[in-house]
Structure 1
Amino acid sequence: MNEIITSYYDWLKQNTKISKVGDYFEEVTPFLNNRNDSLLIYHRYLADGNIQISDGGFIMEEFDLLSINVSKGKRKQVFDFIRHSYHLDLVDDELVIVTNTNNYAKNKHFFIQGLLKLEDMYLLNRTTVKSTFQEDVLEYIDKNDITYLDDIKISGKSKLDHNIDFILPGQKNEAIIKLANNLDSNMVKSHIFTFEDIQGSRKKNSKCFILINDMNKKISSKHAEAFSEYNIKPLVWSDKDTLIREFRNVG
């Protein structure tokens, strides 16, 4: 199992490229944005010795091109909630995080997670959208009287913190649930790493679920098999009877 977990770090190293661009170091990450291009982030030293990590203004530029207004209404609430959850600041239309060298790895991890979460917001670019996927899910399990804790941070064996969408607590067992609104191969790897990293740090027996929004895009059998291989049970939003039955079986 140790080799499997560390293979994720090897994959990151092999698929990361760094080059100097002016005062910045540009990093080409192995993660994909909504255009299926590599996610780029930029690093520079500040006068006080800290490091600023930036998206180079890409997210806000994308929102502008897609006519996604995050300055008011529900989209602003979602945008601000994600930023605050991942400790991202908005400075002159750039998403940034400032860190010292000791906390660099943890904060960079959060920064990338936050950008990928914000990338999902382009799916909300419909006038008929009234709620996000997470809100829909939590509203549904509320109606079914299922107790949960939402937006939990858990430290893994790697000492990295992971944002978990919600946990179902039980007396002997618990269920850890991550939501996938826009799933691709890179996100599958990221979710698998998260579950593998946190499982060993939990005191209770943990059941792991990935709940996938399949309303607009059918789940790939390859992705489902990959999750199952790591004892992560894939559930689909279209089959609500199954997900409620699974959630009620957490004891």
Structure 2
Amino acid sequence: MIDEIQSLMEQYLQWLKDKTALKQIDKDWVQVTTPHLDRHNDCLQFYIRKEANGFLLSDDGYIIHDLISSGCSLDSEKRKALLKMTLAGFGVQLDGETLILKASAENFALKKHNFLQAMLAVNDLFYLASPYVANLFYEDVVQWLDHSDIRYTPNIKFTGKSGFDHMFDFVIPKSRKQPERILQTLGNPKKNAIEATVFKWTDSRENRAVNSELFVLLNNSETEVAASAIDALRNYDIEPILWTERSQIVERLVA
């Protein structure tokens, strides 16, 4: 089993390399096009500039501008705090409306990974925010956990076998009745988000207790979640939970 998983991870990393394209757009900036897809099914792009002490990574304001143009207001203090907390988990800063991250030659691979994860996390975090939707999916999950008296620690970072850091939304500590339970929310449970979740769990699970469990809360409030997405998670011993069926796991999370 472990050899099969290792082979799949190596294939995934090779796929990332093969599908990443570089383009010199002027004398200072290089455009990087990745195979990761945003909620429009467009490939995520970011930009790199060489500086005296390393490199500057920038999204050129794409993520924030896209949210605003899609009707997601970032004016409320709650949403500003949520955005800041999400970015801080990856070491990414907000310069006006632009995501930025500084890297050295030594830590470039890790920083680039974290930067992409931050772009994907913010893109997914605000997916449901529109003039017709009052709350973010993440906020709904927090309210549900609190209302259900489920104790948790938010925004936990695990280091994977690859050396990359992976953020998970919530961790419920081990109890006498239940093992460690990790919760990940997917407001937009499309193929790209499912693949990223599978990768970060297979990469980091060896550093957790052998019986640790990952639950993925899938938002099906607006659209139906594809059966293939649910099957993909189960194939890697990840438990998918449809948001409309969340009551089924309350006892396992409270214990």
Contact 1:174 1:204 in 2 (8 A): no
State how far apart, in whole Å, the 2-side matches of 1:67 and 1:96 are: 23
SS at 2:193's partner residue? helix
| 1:47–1:227 Cα change, 3 Å | same
Aligned residues: 247
SS at 1:151's partner residue? strand
State how far apart, in whole Å, the 2-side matches of 1:78 and 1:168 are: 20
CA RMSD for the aligned pairs?
1.9
2:253 to 243, 247, 251: 247
**Equivalent residue, structure 2, for 1:220:** 226
**Equivalent residue, structure 1, for 2:200:** 194
State how far apart, in whole Å, the 1-side matches of 2:232 and 2:45 are: 26
State how far apart, in whole Å, the 1-side matches of 2:167 and 2:112 are: 14
* TM-score normalised by structure 1 residue count: 0.90
Q: Any runs of at least 4 consecutive aligned residues in structure 1 with deviations exceeding 4 A, and if so which?
A: none
SS at 1:205's partner residue? coil
Deviation at 1:67, TM superposition (A): 4.2
Alignment of 1:80 with 2:84, yes or no, is: yes
2:39 to 17, 34, 45: 34
* One-letter amino acid matched to 2:253: F
**Equivalent residue, structure 1, for 2:118:** 114
SS at 1:135's partner residue? helix
* One-letter amino acid matched to 1:43: I
Deviation at 1:144, TM superposition (A): 2.3
* TM-score normalised by structure 2 residue count: 0.89
| 1:17–1:53 Cα change, 3 Å | same
| CA-to-aligned-CA distance 1:171-230 (integer Å, 9 cap, x gap) | 472112111101211111110001101110113521121111111111100011111111
| CA-to-aligned-CA distance 1:144-187 (integer Å, 9 cap, x gap) | 22222211111111111111111121147211211110121111
* One-letter amino acid matched to 1:182: N
SS at 1:182's partner residue? coil
State how far apart, in whole Å, the 2-side matches of 1:93 and 1:168 are: 34
Alignment of 1:104 with 2:138, yes or no, is: no
Contact 1:86 1:114 in 2 (8 A): yes
Structure 2 segments unaligned to the other structure (5+ residues): none
* One-letter amino acid matched to 1:5: M
Determine what percentage of the aligned residue pairs are the same residue: 28
Matches within 5 A, 1:1-251: 1-22=5-26, 23-48=28-53, 50-120=54-124, 121-126=126-131, 129=134, 131-171=135-175, 173-248=179-254
SS at 1:183's partner residue? coil
State how far apart, in whole Å, the 2-side matches of 1:66 and 1:140 are: 26
